[in-house]
A and B are shown apart, each in its own frame.
Chain A
Amino acid sequence: MHNAENSKYAKTHEWAYLENGVVTVGISEYAQQEIGDIVFVDLPKTGTQVTAGQNCCVIESVKSASEIYAPVSGEIVEVNEAVNADPALVNRAAHGDGWLFKIKASKPEEYEALLDLKAYKETLDK
């Protein structure tokens, strides 16, 4: 199961967790705090092809609409329906049950190029 420690990170605050060729994606604890109370998650449609760095999801809070970028390229194979009914789940469990979508990775090397927790934390201190 993915958590803050065993995930990799994009500079844009998404975390990614690879298992059996499928990458689960969510937003970091830092991101959920900055975004504030989440009221709606505009999840991507399964079957959509995405490229690394492409905006594929939008998270709406009371004060903003934040774009979420695919950390790796591939096909969206699953989305977390639970956040439709309970968007605050992303705030409560950003690294766990509040995951957003899963990508069947087409380029595994992109995953390796992501930051580990330590490197991601360093970007926050700047």
Chain B
Amino acid sequence: MFTPHTEEDKKIMLQKIGAANVRELLNQIPADLLYPQLHLPVALTEQALTRHMQMLAAKNKPLANFIGAGCEEHFIPAAVNALSGRGEFLTAYTPYQAEASQGTLQTIYEFQSCICALFDMDVCSASHYDGATAMAEAAAACLRVNNRCKILYSAGLHPHYKEVLKTYLKHTAGVQLEEVTLTNGTVDLAALEKQLTPDVSGFVVAGPNFLGQLEPLEDIAELVHKAGALLVSVAKPLALPLLHTPGQYGADFAVAEGQPLGNSMSFGGPGLGIFTCKKEFVRQVPGRIAGMAKDKNGKRSFVLTLQAREQHIRRERAASNICSNQALCALNAVIYMTLLGPEGLREVAELNLEKAHRLADLLKADGHKLKFDGYFFNEFVVELNAPAKQVIKKLAKKGIAAGYDLGEASKELKNCLLVCVTETKTEADLQDYVNALRGF
């Protein structure tokens, strides 16, 4: 129930602080921005608005989607949204009052537990906005842990992740960022070894990387730890049932974009940032963590824990200014993971692997060239005879979203198409793709 201030309350408060009116408190805001004229059109009725939205929606051309690049189409069982869409979950507030939020807190705790099991990591937070911010937070955590001043990052990170990393660390005094180049689509280990100087706090690497290639993460972990630095790995949750897990190869922090776990693409968001780490770093974890406790009657209960790290208590010395999580997206993810279970998740991973390799083989047989020859999961790069941008346009006319134009990331790759194949594609879809791409 919302109980607003009365006019009397406001008068007393203004008097106490010595302001004439509320407007006076906003004097730092430039006048032209304070109450700008927005010139909005007249509001539509519900009927007119519905008609308008239907007209807009009708403009969408559903294409067979082969685009990955950080946002993937996966099949979401109906049970996921049926459960998470319930009012109790959908409209529940932030669980700051444990006594009123046991349901929410339990789902967060279960989400954390599932992710720890999937990643083989000790600690998982309640989630972050997206994979990119989770990664940037992990880099910031490295700096706090070992007090060194340089963060290395793989050139194979998603371009947006690189931007977010730079933005996050832009105002942290004394921090340097340095890129480690790729060779043939994966991290150049010789370069990495050279760049791992004693001032390096951590190395951020994605595996599979933005080009879809798997990385030699065991070797990377060894080099990084030998240099006394920490490893932040950006993983793909759906690939983990088939790969060595971050826990197995010794990641200190393992982060990921969790959207493929039961969350729709929704034109690029909201995302689901997954943040995990080794037990020794638990006090460096930003944001929320749900924990299991006992109430005064000895019954099992759930709480937000380790809150002394957060900014509402630690203020400017907090691990991060982040004090929120993506509760609904995490809920979709935990329902998805629970529904599928370890065996179901493995099946989804196998389907992704098989179908992506099936399409790659069909394309190669049809005369196309794969840009990189390393191992991949569900994404690979095709090198075309024309700019990817043009090919994408042509295939869209045939009802296919062909992939991501790598020319956006780098000029040298402008003829390269990043193709993603998930469990949603049938053999017929793959044949259509091959037919459509013929000649390019």
- Decide: B283 and A63 in contact? CB cutoff 8 A: no
Chain A nearest Cβ from B208, distance in angstroms: 37
Tell me the number of A-to-B contacts counted with CB atoms below 8 Å. 18
Map CB proximity to A onto B272-291 as digits: 1 under 8 Å, 0 otherwise: 00000000000100000000
Q: Which residues of the partner chain A approach B308 to less than 8 Å between Cβ atoms?
A: 39-40, 60-65
Q: Evaluate contact between A42 and B283: CB separation under 8 angstroms.
A: yes
CB neighbours (8 Å) of B313 from chain A are: 63-65
Query: Within 8 Å of chain A (Cβ to Cβ): is B171?
Result: no
With A61-B308, A64-B308, A65-B308 in contact, is A40–B314 under 8 Å at CB? no
Chain B residues whose C-beta falls within 8 Å of the C-beta of A40 in the assembled complex:
283, 308
| Bound Cα distance A63, B303 (Å) | 13
Bound CA–CA A60/B306 (angstroms):
9
Residues of chain B within 8 A (CB-CB) of A62 are 308
| Cα(A58)–Cα(B284), bound, Å | 14
- Any A CB within 8 A of the CB of B317: yes
Most central of B308, B309, B313, B317 by chain A CB within 10 Å? B308
Cβ–Cβ contact B314 & A65, under 8 A: yes
B side interface size, CB within 8 A: 6
Interface majority SS (helix, strand, loop, mixed), chain A = strand
Q: Within the assembled complex, what's the spacing in Å between the Cα atoms of A62 and B291? A: 13
Interface membership of chain A positions 43-56, coded 1 if the CB is closer than 8 angstroms to chain B and 0 otherwise? 00000000000000
B301-325 CB contact bits vs A (8 Å, 1 = yes)? Answer: 0000000110001100100000000
How far is A39 from B283 in the complex, measured between Cα atoms in Å? 12
How long is the Cα–Cα vector from A63 to B317 in the complex, in angstroms?
Answer: 15
A61 / chain B contacts, CB cutoff of 8 Å: 308
Q: How far is the CA of A19 from the CA of B205 in the complex (A)?
A: 51
- Shortest Cβ distance from B14 into chain A, in angstroms? 31
Are A65 and B317 also in contact (CB < 8 A) when A40-B308, A60-B308 are? yes
A81 CB, min distance to chain B CBs, angstroms: 15
Task: Give the distance in Å from the alpha carbon of A58 to the alpha carbon of B314 in the complex.
Answer: 10
The smallest C-beta distance from B99 to any residue of chain A, in angstroms, reads 15
Q: Could you tell me the distance in whole angstroms from the C-beta of B315 to the nearest C-beta in chain A?
A: 9
Shortest distance between the CB of A47 and any CB in chain B (Å): 13
In the bound complex, what is the Cα–Cα distance between A28 and B120 (angstroms)? 43
In angstroms, Cα B73 to Cα A30, docked, is 59
Residues of A within 8 A of B317 (CB): 58, 65, 67
Residues of chain B having any CB pair with chain A under 8 Å: 283, 308-309, 313-314, 317
Q: Tell me the A residues contacting B by CB distance below 8 Å.
A: 39-40, 42, 58, 60-65, 67
Name 16 interchain pairs, CB-CB below 8 A, sorted by A.
A40-B283, A40-B308, A42-B283, A58-B317, A60-B308, A61-B308, A62-B308, A63-B308, A63-B313, A64-B308, A64-B313, A65-B308, A65-B309, A65-B313, A65-B317, A67-B317
- Beyond the given A42-B283, A60-B308, A65-B317, please list 7 additional residue pairs across the A-B interface where CB-CB is below 8 A: A61-B308, A62-B308, A63-B308, A64-B308, A65-B309, A65-B313, A67-B317
Q: What are the 9 A-B residue pairs with the smallest beta carbon separation, nearest first?
A: A60-B308, A65-B308, A65-B314, A65-B313, A64-B313, A64-B308, A40-B283, A65-B317, A61-B308
